[in-house]
Amino acid sequence: MRLKFFTLLYTSVLMTAPLATHADAPRTFNEAKKVAWGLYAPQSTEFYCGCKYTGNTVDLAGCGYVPRKNATRAKRIEWEHIVPAWQIGHLRQCWQNGGRKNCTRNDQVYKRAEADLHNLVPSIGEVNGDRNNFNFGWLPEHQGQYGSCLTQVDFKAKRVMPRPSIRGMIARTYFYMSKQYNLRLSRQDQQLYQAWNKSYPVESWERQRNQRVACVMGHGNDFVGPVNLKACS
């Protein structure tokens, strides 16, 4: 029944508007990045490779990460949209009339989506750059593209296969963003994320993150589970 619900949800055009903006929710991507530092401080683990970081510096040796090409960018944390800004905005009129900068300045729905903390994670800068706006998907077995990091990028196919422990969260983030901001998912993406959602169920760290983000945004990701807004201090 749940699988059928997902199929119906993402093959139709959703007419509901995004939830009202919470008083504490960031209004811009720059504001969101500032808030995100505090949200992730208790964890201090970046997303794609599971490397620890302190401040803006990644402990590459501690997680066996080997830079592919850009050693300088590999050492720093950047804030990554799981659903890329391009995917959020490229079909909107603002993007077609001036690209991302125009959307950031003039489109309120886009600005809210770009600043949505449910879609924002800390990433090794090099991996963030390599991911670009590529889709997620299956790739051949891990080849050590970034040393011990299990995420890999196929530049020719424009596809990224994330490490197993984050695949479920990626799927549930796509479901959330699609519902929240009326983003269409292809049939191929629907099938992939349905499979990942089932194969990689919600873990305690994802629930904890959902609760922390909900306290700022004013709502959680329902595909992760319920949150307790009364517990927010």
Q: Is pLDDT above 90 for 138?
A: yes
> pLDDT band for position 140 (50/70/90)?
confident
Residue 123 CB neighbours (<10 A):
25
Q: What domain count does the chain have?
A: 1
Q: Strand locations in the chain, DSSP E?
A: 53-54, 57-58, 77-81, 120-124, 135-136, 152-154, 159-161
Q: Which of 180, 171, 172 is nearest to 15 (CA)?
A: 180
Q: Is residue 175 part of a domain?
A: yes
Mean pLDDT along residues 104-120: 96
pLDDT of residue 13: 29
Q: Is residue 231 part of a domain?
A: no
Name the residue range of residue 50's domain.
Answer: 2-223
Q: What is the pTM of this model?
A: 0.89
How far apart CA 223 and CA 75 sit, in angstroms, is: 33
Q: Is residue 228 part of a domain?
A: no
How far apart CA 205 and CA 152 sit, in angstroms, is: 23
SS3 label, residue 23: coil
In this predicted model, what pLDDT tens digit does every residue of 169-215 receive, in sequence order?
999 999 999 999 999 999 999 999 999 999 999 999 999 999 999 99
Tokens for 22? 């919470």
- Residue 54: phi and psi, rounded to 5, are -125, 125
> pLDDT band for position 42 (50/70/90)?
low
The amino acid that residue 229 corresponds to is L
Q: Is residue 36 part of a domain?
A: yes
Q: Is pLDDT above 90 for 144?
A: no
In this predicted model, what pLDDT tens digit does every residue of 97-111 receive, in sequence order?
999 999 999 999 999
Q: Is residue 230 part of a domain?
A: no
Q: Is residue 229 part of a domain?
A: no
How far apart CA 12 and CA 221 sit, in angstroms, is: 20
Q: Which of 212, 167, 29, 109 is nearest to 221 (CA)?
A: 212
Integer CA distances (angstroms), 52 to 60, 75, 92, in order: 8, 11, 37
Q: Where are the alpha helices (DSSP H) in the chain?
A: 2-11, 29-40, 60-63, 71-74, 85-89, 93-96, 99-106, 108-114, 125-131, 167-181, 187-199, 204-217
Mean pLDDT along residues 164-169: 97
Residue 27 CB neighbours (<10 A):
12
In this predicted model, what pLDDT tens digit does every residue of 55-91 receive, in sequence order?
999 999 999 999 999 999 999 999 999 999 999 999 9
> pLDDT band for position 40 (50/70/90)?
confident
| Separation of CA 13 from chain center | 22
Q: Is pLDDT above 60 for 12?
A: no
Q: Is pLDDT above 60 for 14?
A: no
